[in-house]
Every structure is written in C-alpha cells, then in structure tokens.
A and B are shown apart, each in its own frame.
Chain A
Amino acid sequence: MTRISSWVPAMLMSAVLPLTGCAVTIPVDPDGTLDRIRREQVVRAGASPRPGWVVVGSMTEDPTGREVDLVEGFASSLGAQVEWTVGGEEDLIGRLEDGSLDVVVGGLTDQNPFSADAAMTRPYLEEKVQGTVEAHVMFVPMGENALQSALERWLDEAVPR
C-alpha cells in the first residue's frame, strides 16, 4: 500500500463529505421512495393472505388483519393513504423489485426465502407458535434505506414488546 492507494480514500472522502452536508437526513433512498410517499401521500402496499395477519375478503374491498392495521398506521404517520394490492408472495416481492410497490406484508417471518430479492425489516414482533418462535418482518424495496429505517422506527414505537 503506497502512494497511489493512499489518495483513493481521501478522494472518495472529499466527494462524499459535501453531499452529507446538504442532505437533510441520513439515510437517503437511492430511488427516493420515502420522499415520493410524503409528496403523493400514497403508500403502495402489497398484501398476501395469512390468517390473523392479513385477511383478504373479496377482491373489491381492502384487506384486514394485524399487519394491515400496522401498514395503515405507518402510512398515516407519514400523512398518506394506503393503496392495497392483493397477490401471492412471490408476485408481490417481484413488484417490490421493479419499484411498483413500497411495502409488502403477509404474516412473513425472518425464515422466508425472499431476503435476497427485497429488504427485510428487523423483526418487529416475536411470537411463540407450536414450540418455535416466529420473528415477524415486513418487506420494502432493497436499498431504500430511508423508507426501511422510517418503517422500523415506527414499528419499534407502535408494537409493544
């Protein structure tokens, strides 16, 4: 490690520091999802049925259940309404990836197979089910860290442990 490599971090540092100066909050979403939610006052949420957590009646009415209530609560904390999309887990995760959904719920736990495709929140609730502990999570688009942090922060306060 000699001369050439020692200026690389210095250069990167000088590129980033001015940016941190003008950014209002850290982290920032690369694709600006949280800002868009605040601006358009809409959270586009995906719901996949699981008894108790997400209950889907008919296709015309909004889903109900514990996680549906949580997403509604999170949206209103941002001054936004929720636009629900009902579907299967894989389909909904795919929509998170292409940016057409902001959050997905479905009674999912941290043992789900989708964590490579979308960002899993920190478990917000642990429940004993048949001798095992289920740690419940929601999904947001990968790398939208401002949205993820806002959701995790809200869940920390809204869900009693």
Chain B
Amino acid sequence: MRRAREPRFGYTDLPEPQRIALRKAIRLEVVTFVFMLTAVAAVFSVMGGSQAMKAAWIEDMLGLIPPVAFLLAISRARKEPTPDHPYGYHRTVATGHLTAAVALLVMGLFLIEDSAMGLLRQEHPQVGTMQLFGNTVWSGWLMIAVMVYTGVGPFILARLKLPLSEQLHDKVLYADADMQKADWMTAAGTIVGVLGIGVGLWWLDSVAALFIAGSILRDGWKNLRFASGSLNDQRARTFDDKSPHPLTYQVDDVLRDLPWISQSRSRVRDQGHVFHIEAFVRPTDEDVTLERIEEAVTALRNLDWKIHDVVVMPVRDLPEEIPDPGADQ
C-alpha cells in the first residue's frame, strides 16, 4: 500500500491542485452535512401545519444524502483495485449519484401528490403561536427566520463547491452544489407560503409547496438521466454533463500525431473521477514495438490526470462498429 492516507483516486496520483481541491471539498461536505442537520432540526421545531414548511423540511433531509454519498464515494474510490474489483472502485461515484437521484425523484412525486391533495381538499393550514423566552409569538415569524437561516447556508456552500466539482470532475459534488445553488428559492418560496397563511390566503401555502416539490422532482429527473447515462457507459461528459468531454476528441488527435500511427479510433468512458480508454490504432508499417505502444500510452496519460486506465491496441483495420467520437461534432 502506497501512502494510504494521501488523497487519491485508486492508483491514480492526483496533481497538487486536485489534491488541495479534494481536501477542501471533503471539508466543505462535512460542513454541509452538519449544517443540513441543524437545518432539519430547526425546520422541524417550527414546522407547524404549513405544507410549504413540510416540503422544505423534506428537501433539507434529502440534502443530507449528497454529502454522505460524496464522502462515502471518496473513501471507496481511493481503494486500489482488487482481484474481485479489477477496475477499482470508481463506480461508487455513479452509484451514489443514482441513489441521490432516485431519492429526489420519489420524494418530489410524493410531495406533489401531498400538496395537490391539500389544495383540492381545501385544507386550511394551521399555524398557531409558540412561547419564546416568556413571550407568545406567532409561529409564522419563527418559520420565516428559520427559512432565512436554511436559505443562506446552501447559497454560500454551493458557490464554494461548484469550482471544486469541476477541478475534481466529481459529479456527486456537482449535483450537490447545483441543487444547493437553488435552495434559496425554496426558502423564499416557503416564506411566501407562510406569509400567505399570515394574511389568510391559505392556498398560497400549498402552491408554494407545489413549487418546491416541482424543483425537487426536476433535480431528481435531471440527475437520474445523467447518473444512469454514466452507468450505461455513455461516453465521458463534462463535470456538469452539459457536453461530451473534450478529452473524448483529443485522444484520437494525440495518437494520430505520433509518427507511427496513421489512424486511431477510441472509446472513452467515465468511471467516476477518472476515465477508462480503449484506443485502436492503425500503424503506418508492420513494425509495432513495445516502445511505440508505451510511448502512445504515455502520450495519453500526459494529456490529463483523469486519464487513468489506458489500453492501446494496434490493429490492421479500424473496428467499424465503434463510431467516430467526432462524428456528431
């Protein structure tokens, strides 16, 4: 075992910037987890009969999953391959991503049904008073104060985590930051719902809850698509899943630039943090040596730290069944 406590992904050594980013990300996710625990407790203690508060509470509980998934994935992914897991444990990231997505999707659906039924049955939410330091206060004011608290934390944390998710190519971290980025809207929506109860517009509470449920459902659907795409060996995409990863195009370019290679066709898949590459190359002559193959592998490895598991296979003709990565560019 080499330096087991050093931050790493499997047997891939991380460059210094990534090492720093990973330490920061771990710290931030621990902070996120603790913050979300306080948020869940705070919201629960003032929740009362507001449907919007219930939705916000459930969203905060779901917010506990991504930091846990991230921390678990990081500790699993650092393990080196074993005979039983010859590719290592990088897929843990996608598994964590998928788990979070399914939780979001199911709770989003539940909350939409729950809030819509409340609206149809015209249930008037009950929000009475609370005793605070010997004074009797309308609970709505406390709810609004708590929502300001739960809105501000994620707003800051998300902005700190987003750049790290790009540096580390960590999709769980990205999904977490992306969802938290929008959490202030949940808080604002809940405040509107509670103010609605305050002025006697009982339906505004359920409408706010529906809006929150819709945002949870959207997050779930988006993440489910990307997590399952990655598990189904979709070609590697950028950290935010917006487009195919530029490396998927560069691999063939780099190989073709080597003097002994005339043509190249590659497959690049994302194992979670790191990429697995199979490249089929057509040599200019029959003189394929071990040195040349090693040179090709090194050229690819030097391209990016994420390029990790590389197989270069000399062939007489390019495999026709593998599509050109640049075909749809």
Contacts of A135-160 to chain B: CB distance below 8 A: 141-145, 148-149, 152-153, 156
The residues of A that contact B207 with a CB separation of less than 8 Å are: 12
* Complex Cα–Cα for A127 and B219 (A): 48
Contact B188 A16 (CB under 8 A): no
B124 close to A (CB within 8 Å): yes
The residues of B that contact A143 with a CB separation of less than 8 Å are: 49, 123-126, 197, 202
The residues of A that contact B31 with a CB separation of less than 8 Å are: none
Report the count of interface residues on B (CB-CB < 8 A): 35
Taking residues whose C-beta sits less than 8 angstroms from the other chain, chain A's interface range is 20 to 34
The residues of B that contact A17 with a CB separation of less than 8 Å are: 195
B96 close to A (CB within 8 Å): no
Contact A27 B49 (CB under 8 A): no
Of A1-9, A45-53, A81-89, A106-114, the one touching chain B: A1-9
* Complex Cα–Cα for A63 and B261 (A): 101
* Complex Cα–Cα for A18 and B214 (A): 26
Whether A16 contacts B201 in the complex (CB less than 8 A), given A9-B211, A152-B129, A156-B131, comes out as yes
B181 close to A (CB within 8 Å): yes
Contact A12 B204 (CB under 8 A): yes
* Complex Cα–Cα for A144 and B130 (A): 16
Whether A8 contacts B189 in the complex (CB less than 8 A), given A20-B195, A122-B129, A149-B128, comes out as yes
The residues of A that contact B199 with a CB separation of less than 8 Å are: 16, 19-20, 23, 26-28
Contact A1 B218 (CB under 8 A): yes
Chain A min CB distance to B139 (Å):
9
* Complex Cα–Cα for A30 and B122 (A): 11
B198 close to A (CB within 8 Å): yes
Contact A149 B129 (CB under 8 A): yes
Contact A13 B192 (CB under 8 A): yes
A41 close to B (CB within 8 Å): no
Given A149-B129, A152-B128, 17 further pairs, Cβ under 8 A: A9-B185, A12-B196, A12-B204, A23-B198, A27-B127, A27-B197, A28-B198, A119-B49, A122-B128, A122-B130, A142-B124, A144-B124, A145-B126, A148-B129, A152-B129, A153-B129, A153-B136
Nearest 6 A-B pairs (CB), nearest first?
A143-B124, A1-B182, A28-B200, A26-B198, A119-B126, A9-B188
